[in-house]
Amino acid sequence: MKVHASIALAALLLGTAAPALAGPDDNSLTIGLGEELPGFDGYTSTSRDGVVMTRHLYDMLIWRNPANFEYEPLLATSWKRVDDKTWEFALRQGVTFHDGSPFSAEDVVATLTYWSNADNGARSQSSVSWIDKVEAVDDMTVRIVSKEPFPAALEFVAGSLPIYPSDYFEEVGAEEFNKKPVGTGPYKLDSASGGTTTLARNEAYFESPKAPSIDKLIIRTIPDDATRIAELLGGGIEWTWNVPADQVAQIGSVPGRTAVLGSTMRIAFIGLDAAGRTGEGNPLTNVKVRQAINHAIDKKTIVENLVGGDGEVIDVPCYPMQLGCDVSAAVVYDYDPEKAKALLAEAGFGDGLQVSMTSYRDRARAEAVQAYLAAVGITANLEMLQARASFSGWREGKTEVWYGDWGSFSIADASASLGNFFDGSSNDGFRDEEVMALVAEASTSVDEAVRKENYAKAIQMITEKAYMVPMHTVTMGYAFDSELKFTPNVDELPRFFLASW
């Protein structure tokens, strides 16, 4: 894929500057994404592209302003803690949904009650499973009550709980709502067909920093990296991301195009099927095999040559800046292929072994891992998939080795990382009862010292038992028309409602 992208790029670089685009003329923005949007429901999509677009269709009660990273009012104008388990929100008057129906406490109660029910299929249970009940104090006041004290409650309220119109959702049901969404957000769905989705500015949007400048967002699905880059340089699109790191400088050298590598809160890791979900005889249930894999991979070389930007090696299964992600608690595995071979021999695999492996984001990095494993006698049968299929394969216990990544819904608390993969849910391919108990206690304690202590103990156990190979922080390559005023943010949530021409 990278070879083809380089050829396409080189051919375009031989030509003149890219032609002027329609965007500034009609105040539209054409966006190129690598995956088709999986739908428009903010609770059932874990695709980053899908998450980003739902932020434009819906609002949360509050949000984090990327300019100062502070909580600010959105559908709620104020909030207060009532007790260790209860937050009260005063709702904004005069807000309407895209269909003209008025927003009230009933919508908050109905939305959060429905999606906090595990039977209704929210993909990230850690985002909603903490909710015990939601109550309307009056038409414009609600209380969210957690099952246990939950210090990260506001993080999730601001980051992953969009509000839906109760009457419309009840009328059409979750499946139809995913196709024909109605929210209060700065944009509303105009059309979706044939790999192209159009969002139109919500002219009735309330006064807010989220009030958009651009009239129309046109989202095109272009799966191939080379084709997407060629479209950007040729004028077919005006913004894209997931640009390979080795293409950023070249794209940025084209007159009229800007390309940058931005920092993110996302971590890459290799999940190992320690619980044996893929079936009997899985060698990854043996801790020495998992430790061997950790020693076999030269993470530093992968980061230096294939990640780019300010990507960094990590040794913890969480984003280092999240509260509770104690890097000093981790057992560190130095790159040591001879040690890896010795551990495999001790585990009874001196003659080698085979494992299934899936990945999706970057073939070059996945193939580098595959090569490092081969060097110590592990044959990894690599299959590159689309993001949704790759993550689903891990969740359903169909792959032994998963080179994936996780952005924690941009929540700066370890409950959004450790709490997502070590909670006994389908995301948890390790099923360690002691680790689960530590993470659960850390996630619910109101004592920050206790939280940090339990997270540290969990990190020590997770890394000692080598359930994962923590790899590196992930950089994000952005490329766009130079006339576009757009600022990448570390939370990896492009906000097109803040962009302008």
Q: What is the pLDDT of residue 21?
A: 53
Q: Which of 66, 315, 102 is nearest to 209 (CA)?
A: 66
Is there a single domain that holds both residue 130 and residue 248? no
How far is residue 209 from each of residues 148, 212, 216, 253, 495, measured CA to CA in Å? 33, 8, 18, 33, 11
**Token representation of residue 380:** 């990894």
Q: Which of 101, 116, 105 is nearest to 184 (CA)?
A: 101
Confidence of residue 103 (pLDDT cuts 50, 70, 90): very high
| Residue at 20 is within a domain | no
Q: What is the pLDDT of residue 65?
A: 84
How far is residue 441 from each of residues 148, 149, 373, 428, measured CA to CA in Å? 10, 10, 36, 17
Once rounded to an integer, what is the mean pLDDT over residues 74-102? 98
Q: What is the pLDDT of residue 362?
A: 87
| CA angle at 387 for the pair 385 and 391, rounded to the nearest 5° | 95
Once rounded to an integer, what is the mean pLDDT over residues 122-133? 90
Task: Please state, in angstroms and rounded to a whole number, the distance separating the CA atoms of residues 270 and 266.
Answer: 13
Q: What is the pLDDT of residue 433?
A: 98
Q: What is the pTM of this model?
A: 0.79
Once rounded to an integer, what is the mean pLDDT over residues 299-321? 93
| Residue at 5 is within a domain | no
Q: What is the pLDDT of residue 7?
A: 40
Once rounded to an integer, what is the mean pLDDT over residues 84-107? 98
- Quick check: 15 pLDDT over 60? no
Domain boundary among 137, 170, 203: 170
- The residue range of the domain holding 220 is 28-34+186-264+476-498
468: CATH: 3.10.105.10
Instruction: Please tell me the number of Cα atoms within 13 Å of 2 on its side-chain side.
Output: 15
- Quick check: 464 pLDDT over 50? yes
Q: What is the pLDDT of residue 18?
A: 45
- Quick check: 388 pLDDT over 90? no
Task: Please state, in angstroms and rounded to a whole number, the distance separating the CA atoms of residues 359 and 302.
Answer: 15
**Overall residue count recorded for the chain in this entry:** 501
- Quick check: 392 pLDDT over 70? yes
User: Per residue in 326-366, pLDDT tens?
Assistant: 999 999 999 999 999 999 999 999 999 999 999 998 899 99
How far is residue 321 from each of residues 46, 318, 326, 434, measured CA to CA in Å? 22, 9, 9, 24
* DSSP code string of 261-314: EE--S-EEEEEE-TT-TT-TT-GGGSHHHHHHHHHH--HHHHIIIII-TT--B-
- Quick check: 396 pLDDT over 90? yes
Is there a single domain that holds both residue 68 and residue 146? yes
User: Per residue in 406-461, pLDDT tens?
Assistant: 988 888 899 999 999 999 999 999 999 999 999 999 998 989 999 999 999 999 99
Residues sharing a CB contact under 8 Å with residue 485, sequence separation 6 or more, in sequence order: 499, 500, 501
Residue 273 CB neighbours (<10 A) = 25
Kindly report the three-state secondary structure assignment for every residue of 13-77: HCCCCCCCCCHHHHCEEEEEECCCCCCCCCCCCCCHHHHHHHHHHCCCCEEEECCCCEEEECCEE
Once rounded to an integer, what is the mean pLDDT over residues 473-490? 95
Indicate the helix (H) or strand (E) that contains 468. strand 468-473
Is there a single domain that holds both residue 480 and residue 392? no
Q: What is the domain count for the chain?
A: 3
Is there a single domain that holds both residue 201 and residue 126? no
Confidence of residue 310 (pLDDT cuts 50, 70, 90): confident
Residue 232's identity, in one-letter code, is L
| Strand partners for 72 | 63
Confidence of residue 246 (pLDDT cuts 50, 70, 90): confident
Is there a single domain that holds both residue 228 and residue 276? no
Mean pLDDT, rounded, of the chain = 93
Is there a single domain that holds both residue 144 and residue 283? no
Once rounded to an integer, what is the mean pLDDT over residues 135-163? 96
